[in-house]
Amino acid sequence: MHTPADMTQWKGRVDAAEGQAGRRWHQIMQPWAPEAGQGVALTGFACDAGVHRNHGRPGARKGPGAIRSMLSNMPVLDCQTLYDAGDIAPVASGTHDGLEQAQDELSSHLAGLLAQGLLPITLGGGHEIAFGSFEGLARHLAASSGSPPRIGIVNLDAHFDLRQDDRASSGTPFRQIAENCRQRGWPFNYCCLGVSRYANTQALFDRAESLGVGWMLDEELGTSDRTNALSRLDAFLHSVDHVYFTICLDVLPACVAPGVSAPAARGVPLEVVEALADHVAASGKMRLADIAELNPDFDIDHRSARVAARLVARIANQAGAL
Ligand X SMILES: N=CN[C@@H](CCC(=O)O)C(=O)O
Binding site for ligand X (CB under 6 A): 54, 56, 127, 159, 161, 163, 170-171, 261-262
Strands 242-248 and 151-156 come out as: parallel
Q: Which residues contact residue 316 at a Cβ distance below 8 angstroms, ignoring those fewer than 6 apart?
A: 40, 79, 82, 119, 121
Applying CB under 5 A, which part among 52-60, 120-128, 178-186, 277-285 lies near Mn ion?
120-128
Q: Is 161 annotated as a binding residue?
A: yes
Nearer to ligand X, 168 or 256 (CB): 168
Beta strands of 1-118 (E only): which ranges?
2-3, 29-31, 40-45, 82-88
Among 97, 105, 135, 161, binds Mn ion (CB under 5 A): 161
Q: With binding defined as CB under 5 A, does residue 316 bind Mn ion?
A: no
Nearer to ligand X, 64 or 171 (CB): 171
> From Mn ion, ligand X, none, which one binds at residue 122 (CB under 5 to 8 Å depending on kind)?
none
- Start-end of H helices in the chain: 25-28, 49-53, 63-71, 99-115, 129-144, 173-184, 202-210, 226-238, 270-281, 303-320
Nearer to ligand X, 15 or 165 (CB): 165
Q: Is 87 annotated as a binding residue?
A: no
Picking from 118, 117, 32, the residue whose alpha carbon sits closest to that of residue 83 is 32
CB-closest chain residue to ligand X:
171
Q: Which amino acid is at 300?
A: I
Q: With binding defined as CB under 5 A, does residue 128 bind Mn ion?
A: no
- Cα dihedral 291→5→305→277 (10° resolution): 30
Q: Is 109 annotated as a binding residue?
A: no
Q: With binding defined as CB under 5 A, does residue 127 bind Mn ion?
A: yes
For the annotated binding site, the residues are: 127, 157, 159, 161, 248, 250
Residues binding Mn ion (CB under 5 A):
127, 157-159, 161, 248, 250
